[in-house]
Amino acid sequence: MGAKYVGVLTAGGDSPGLNAALRGIGKAGLGLYDMQFVGFLDGFRGLMQNRTIRLDEKSLSGILTRGGTILGTSRDKPHKMPVGGKYLDMTDAMMDTYERYHLDALVCLGGGGTQKSALRLKNRGMNIITLPKTIDNDVAMTDVTFGFDTALGIATEAIDRLHSTAHSHHRIVVVEIMGHNTGWLALGSGVAGGADVILIPEIPYNVNEIADAILQRSRGGKRFSIVAVSEGAMPVELAAKKNAVEEKLRKEEDEDKREKLSGELVRLEEERSNSTLALTQNLEKLTGLESRVTILGYLQRGGAPSAADRLLATRLGTACTRLLHEGRYGVMVAARGDGMEPVPLEEVAGKRKTIPMGHPWLESARSVGTCLGD
């Protein structure tokens, strides 16, 4: 049976294209299938607290070009919700809200964490459909996520602008780009922006190799270099330590030892968060060239979505409405070429789309002489 009463929420980090997707879901559902929509504010927390707005023609009007999300968002998880200074499982409270509104389905727009949370709610008894959004482009089982193209353009423009100051002052300019676990954004913008060095989480780097590549450029008369680095990129030594601790944690059954290993992972994560600054300082020492760092941060998430993201979000949003009408639940609406494919949440949750070593973007980067730190 097709859905008539539908809840919608946006969760995780904000991303360009969320409003376009909400508009696509809402306008198609209202116009084609006489559906009614209630939006829950601030992600899963709004579902728990029963904080809502009505998604009607008026609220959906004029939002296609707006960044962010009119529903607000948060990173709260249904099973680990901060309440009164503690982390509690609030899944039952969310189920109560779902039933109070007599919802036929709940649509969750989000990245990898949202896919896992949505699967939990599906297993609890809700009819769930998700849409893949994140600027990191790391959601499994979809060709692309909306938000990625916009962030890619912003990061590329930043690299373009940094070229002039790097050239004028004969500097190394290190630009940190978002991408905690995957390097799609740094690799794509690095290739598009002509970065001389691109560092990504998938390929641990050797700082001496990077310094040698920069010095070789300098000896060839190129007295500046642009280094595009994912926030999650790591030197080989740190990557080896982290992998070893994670492997021990997977095998360890003793709770006290697991807690100690988890603490070690936190410490290594803190070290990784400072790795871009350390890299910049080390490159200056090794090359003798003045080095500066620029951290783009949340700038990459802001502003109006690109045309490509508006198209993608609208396409996936309207496809979601068709699935709601057909009563097809427990799936993520994945982008497949110019179409879409409903993928079971079990095949998406807990997985991450990383850059394969034979990916054409990597091959192109190496072919034009870009140093990848290995």
The enclosing domain of 337 has a CATH number of: 3.40.50.450
43 and 17 in a common domain:
yes
Q: How far is CA 38 from the centre of its chain?
A: 25
Distance CA 196, CA 167 (A): 13
161 and 274 in a common domain:
yes
Helices 236-251 and 255-273: angle between axes, nearest 10 degrees: 160
Task: Say if residues 210 and 371 touch (Cβ distance below 8 Å).
Answer: yes
Instruction: List the domain range (segments joined by +) for residue 289.
Output: 151-301
**Whole-number average pLDDT of the chain:** 94
Kindly report, residue by residue over 193-217, the tens digit of the pLDDT: 999 999 999 999 999 999 999 999 9
Is residue 172 in some structural domain? yes
Helix boundaries (H) for the chain: 18-33, 44-49, 57-60, 91-100, 112-124, 148-169, 184-193, 207-219, 236-251, 255-273, 275-287, 307-326, 360-367
Kindly report, residue by residue over 344-360, the tens digit of the pLDDT: 999 999 999 999 999 99
Domain total in the chain = 2
DSSP reduced 3-state for 78? coil
> Where does a domain end: 267, 301, 335?
301
Q: Does residue 268 register a pLDDT over 90?
A: no
Task: Say if residues 38 and 8 touch (Cβ distance below 8 Å).
Answer: yes
User: If we measure between CA atoms, which residue out of 124, 169, 34, 105 comes closest to residue 327?
Assistant: 105
106 and 207 in a common domain:
no
User: If we measure between CA atoms, which residue out of 336, 28, 362 comes closest to residue 203?
Assistant: 362
Task: Say if residues 172 and 284 touch (Cβ distance below 8 Å).
Answer: yes
Distance CA 121, CA 99 (A): 13
374 is catalytic: no
269 and 202 in a common domain:
yes
Q: Which two tokens stand for residue 107?
A: 């649509």
**For residues 211-224, average pLDDT:** 91
The whole-number pLDDT of residue 252 equals 80
Is residue 368 in some structural domain? no
Is residue 276 in some structural domain? yes
310 and 293 in a common domain:
no
**For residues 181-195, average pLDDT:** 97
Give the range among 60-69, 144-153, 227-236, 250-259 with minimum mean pLDDT. 250-259
Distance CA 22, CA 60 (A): 8
**For residues 262-274, average pLDDT:** 84
Task: Say if residues 47 and 7 touch (Cβ distance below 8 Å).
Answer: yes
Q: Does residue 183 register a pLDDT over 80?
A: yes
Q: Does residue 128 register a pLDDT over 90?
A: yes
Distance CA 36, CA 41 (A): 17
Task: Say if residues 131 and 333 touch (Cβ distance below 8 Å).
Answer: yes
Distance CA 195, CA 220 (A): 17
Share of the chain above pLDDT 90, in %: 80
Is residue 363 in some structural domain? no
Cβ neighbours, 10 Å, residue 124 = 15
Task: Say if residues 238 and 261 touch (Cβ distance below 8 Å).
Answer: no
Is residue 354 in some structural domain? no
**Residue 339: beta bridge partners?**
336
Give the Å distances, CA to CA, from 170 to 222, 227, 287.
8, 14, 12
284 and 172 in a common domain:
yes
Is residue 212 in some structural domain? yes
Is residue 372 in some structural domain? no
> 146: which DSSP letter?
B
| Single-letter amino acid code for the residue at 227 | V
309 and 297 in a common domain:
no
186 and 123 in a common domain:
no
Higher per-residue pLDDT: 110 or 3:
110
Q: Does residue 236 register a pLDDT over 90?
A: yes
155 and 284 in a common domain:
yes
273 and 191 in a common domain:
yes
297 and 178 in a common domain:
yes
**For residues 100-116, average pLDDT:** 97
Q: Annotated catalytic residue: which of 42, 76, 136, 309?
A: 136
DSSP reduced 3-state for 264? helix
Phi, psi of 372 (to 5 degrees): -105, 10
Q: Does residue 256 register a pLDDT over 90?
A: no
Is residue 101 in some structural domain? yes
Radius of gyration of the chain, Cα coordinates, nearest whole angstrom: 22
Q: How far is CA 188 from the centre of its chain?
A: 14
